[in-house]
Amino acid sequence: MITVISPDYFKTIPWKNGLGSTTELAISSGGKLDDFAWRLSIATVDNNGVFSDFSGYQRDLVLIAGKGITLEHDGKSTDNLTKLLDVAHFDGGSKTVGTLSHGSIKDFNIMTKQGHYSAKVNTYTNKQVVTMPAQSELVFVYSLSSYCQVSQASLTTSVPTGSLARIDNDEHLSKHDISISGENMIVIELTKVT
């Protein structure tokens, strides 16, 4: 089943560390601010500083606006996000310090509870068609700058810029691959850990 979630249904919630707010696009059923199986959100980062502690979670952070940010994790490893749709993958329990390159940025954040869900995050800047395997459990598509299309079986849905498509695979559709076409888009596949 393909569902398009428009920005009208996104929620603004405070950061866990209280130093800002995030726009929650989608969260697992019954999920709360600090207890969820998975969550997708967008945040604006205006200042350098320590990220909220999300011990027990994996994080994928995608640069969607701005001139870049450097993420230092536990003083040991570094991610430099300098181009649109660059991705960092890190442990939410790490002490992560963000340093802005030239002014504020906006990021798309995917968090999954370790031992419950895993995330596979791919970004596409050029126009193309992406095929997800039929057995994909839960897929999300977010388009930054143009409409994208999502198709499965005989269903085709247009996803407006700034909206989120959610593709839930059910028994009826699970025999059909998912086709996604567009550009400047983020494709997220969430899988239950068994």
pTM equals 0.93
* 194 residues of the chain, pLDDT tens digit each: 889 999 999 998 877 776 677 899 999 998 887 789 999 999 999 999 999 899 999 999 999 999 999 999 999 999 999 999 999 999 999 999 999 999 999 999 999 999 999 999 999 999 999 998 877 889 999 999 888 999 988 889 999 999 999 998 766 556 788 999 999 999 999 999 97
In the prediction, which pLDDT does 172 show?
Answer: 57
Residue 120 bridge partners (DSSP): 189
Distances (CA, A) of 61 to 34, 117, 147, 174, 185: 18, 16, 22, 29, 14
Domains in the chain: ranges and CATH:
10-114 (2.60.120.10), 119-192 (2.60.120.10)
In 3D space, the residue among 18, 36, 19, 35 whose CA is nearest the CA of residue 27 turns out to be: 36
In the prediction, which pLDDT does 186 show?
Answer: 97
In the prediction, which pLDDT does 194 show?
Answer: 79
191, 58 in Cβ contact below 8 A? no
In the prediction, which pLDDT does 102 show?
Answer: 93
132, 169 in Cβ contact below 8 A? no
Sequence-ordered list of residues with C-beta below 8 angstroms from that of 70, at least 6 positions apart, any chain: 78, 79, 80, 81, 98, 99, 101
Query: Residue 45 is which amino acid?
Result: V
The residue written with tokens 């969260």 in the block is: 27
